[in-house]
Amino acid sequence: MVPEKIEKALNEQITHEGQSSQFYLAMASWADVQGYNGIAQFLFRHSDEERIHMLKLLTFINDRGGFAIVPALKQPPLEFKNIHDIFEQVLKHEILVSTEINKLVELCLQEKDYTTHTFLQWYVNEQIEEEKMASKILDKLKLIGEDKGGLYIFDRDMGAMRT
């Protein structure tokens, strides 16, 4: 059985992952209408990935005798300054999510819930990858600066990049 305190915290994490999915979806839609189709494809895929993160939590809570709550949708930001702004926000967002995961891991140790602790290791590793990916993309964007040709190639490459 999942302890009540942990169930509550996991349900909060469901909200974070669902919100992440919405956030990536909003960025994808913005990039799409700006003509950055490759970046949009990357962000659409990432939005799907965040939904999978949410579903993994949902299944885990229910499988352990809890009740996973499907959260209400919150309006994500709709306007972005440019592509640099998008990926700066992505990195900031992923750092925030990592903080939430770390808090959850800490709580599991306090409550001696080693099952959930083990389950969460997948998320710990995933966050390392996501932060790394966002900061590598930002490094590339810094190199490109305002160069339109560079951005064109970057957009094309992002379309082929795996999340």
Residues of this chain that interact with ligand OFO (CB under 6 A) are 17, 20, 50, 53, 94, 97, 126, 130
Which tokens sit at 63?
A: 């499988």
Nearest to ligand OFO of 29, 163 (CB atom): 163
User: Shortest approach of ligand OFO to residue 6 CB, angstroms?
Assistant: 18
Residue 48 or 126: the one with the smaller Cβ distance to ligand OFO is: 126
- Residue closer to ligand OFO, measured from CB, 7 or 130: 130
Helices (H), 34-147: 37-63, 83-110, 114-144
Cα–Cα distance between 101 and 13 in angstroms, integer?
Answer: 8
Length of the chain, please?
163
Nearer to ligand OFO, 45 or 144 (CB): 45
How many Cβ atoms are within 10 Å of 162's Cβ, its own excluded? Answer: 6
Taking the complex as a whole, the smallest distance from the CB of residue 81 to ligand OFO amounts, in Å, to 21
Nearest distance from C-beta of residue 56 to ligand OFO, angstroms: 9
Q: Which amino acid is at 50?
A: E
Question: At closest approach, how far in Å is the CB of 52 from ligand OFO?
Answer: 9
Q: Which of 39, 23, 19 is nearest to 31 (CA)?
A: 39
CB of 50 to ligand OFO, least distance (A): 5
Q: Pick the closest to residue 51 from 27, 75, 25 (CA basis).
A: 25
- Report the residue number, 23 or 154, with the smaller CB distance to ligand OFO: 23
Structural Rg of the chain based on CA atoms: 17
